[in-house]
Chain A
Amino acid sequence: MSPVLQGLITIFVGVFGCVGYFYASNVVLDRVIFPARGPKAGSNINKANKVRPWLFLFPAIFALGLYLVYPVVGSFIRSLYDRSGNNFIWFGNYTDLMAEAEFRQSVFNNFLWILFVPAMATFLGLLVAQLTDRLRWGNIAKSLIFMPMAISFVGASLIWKFVYANNPDVGIINALRDSFGLSPIDVVQIPFWNNFFLMLILVWIQTGFAMVILSAALRGIPEETIEAAIIDGANPFQVFFSIKIPQIMGTIVVVWTTITILVLKVFDIVYTMTGGNFGTQILPSYMMTYMFRDDGRATAVAFVIMIIVLPVMIWNIMQARKEMR
């Protein structure tokens, strides 16, 4: 069967299956189990309305539970077993990992990514948002800077491979060096600094995201406060740093955390650019070196990522609960 046909059938089955489930389950509830007729019509309606939310929620809860909750537990348990999956070795995988230089390197690099990428993307996003705020062609500028959001990490890596290429006739960085008479360098092989060259790719992708949200936040600042500050003689920099920034601090933090989460999940860039060589390994790509070979180690690495995300998760939930009240 051709993949196109297979795809079409699945769309059909999936979509109509979903609609069918929701429709049929509601009909069954209202007509068969708790019919809104007869002497108990009133109480039946109430009962049906108590059950209905769960009908609506069931597929979502099921999928979330299976694909996100179960794996947290499942991965942790699996990480306590050895390569074969039969021998329980407590935290053996974790202690072994600690002893590995490459693992320590990955953790270190991962922290570099967490520190650099969200900060840089938020800063640049804020800069662009502020600069384009009053510009007549601001919207065009914004869509062009937002564009990399649509590009896959693999595509972006390839694009930047061209920028970084060793050959001065291909890579624009080495072309610039060449015009100053410097010999070409392979930037992804410079120890330590190559990490930052890889991070720049993610910054390039994420700046647009930060910009869109921060520029909406900037628009949301009441005009009066800004005008009052200007009448009091504040210069544009004072207006920006003392009036605008404090008012959008909440949004800045949201953007920052969102990008942090993304950084913790990203694996494609390192995988395509260096394959984790030259000291650029990060945890998600390090995990892939064990994937399909040693499930115990792979899940242990995944769980370490989970532990690093945990503070962000708790902060997120706390924020959400604050907003609900």
Chain B
Amino acid sequence: MALAKAINESLRRALESDPKVLIMGEDVGKLGGVFRVTDGLQKDFGEDRVIDTPLAESGIVGTAIGLALRGYRPVVEIQFDGFVFPAYDQIVTQLAKMHARSLGKVKLPVVIRIPYGGGIGAVEHHSESPEALFAHVAGLKVVSPSNAADAYWMMQQAIQSDDPVIYFEPKRRYWDKAEVDAEAIPGPLHAARVVREGTDLTLAAYGPMVKLCQEVADAAAEEGRSLEVVDLRSISPVDFDTVQTSVEKTRRLVVVHEAPVFLGSGAEIAARITERCFYHLEAPVLRVGGYHAPYPPARLEEEYLPDLDRVLDAVDRSLAY
């Protein structure tokens, strides 16, 4: 099942099992979303459950907050990463803080789906990775699946969470297929997972970069190097324990994400792992990601995005210490 289809199936299951679950967003109804992630849901659950909204991101999130206060569990779609900013105020000043402000009396089980990241040749504002901006805000949880099975189960868990969850969907992986076991018992939403065992160096990534890191590990293996790949899955909180365990074994860490490296989530991981694993590390934690520049036009995005060679270069630099 493709990743986009897995999310669709997961939303369908949530709509079926809980009458309080709502889908909201621009074009999510008849069109099924610009990526068809909500395809067919309005047809089967009606316009009251799968709601086409005015083109107003702040309005979408602000009314979702009100619906959550009334006892609903809205899952809202922001059409693309770069369009989330009109809603940023509602997310940061309202959604993230209301539970604390009410001393726990109010719960806001709102999921905000954001297709994010580049690599699909899109125009401006359609390829960004703003996850660090949300992970920095207390009160929000931020996750990103890397494969169809996780996409399915992490969506189930995000909807069931009583906290607001920002659910970043790696749009360039929407069409990647994997087995999805709808009967499985999933692990915790915020647990990282070692997706490939290795002994020489740890690659940590999430969302669209996990697949790349697995390819890097394949390529490195041909050169006789054994890389371990950790799929973080959750960006807030980060499962540092799993990363620490891996780094204590391999003694080297490279963090890979599409977002700009400066003050990105890789910086936090590098700092924390350095603190936790100082005497185990053979090399400084390195980061591979975007530059401190606006996301470039599509013809340049291959230069901007981490690719096989850039990650391998970082691996070489780490191993050279």
A pairs with B: no
On B, residues with C-beta under 8 Å from A are: none
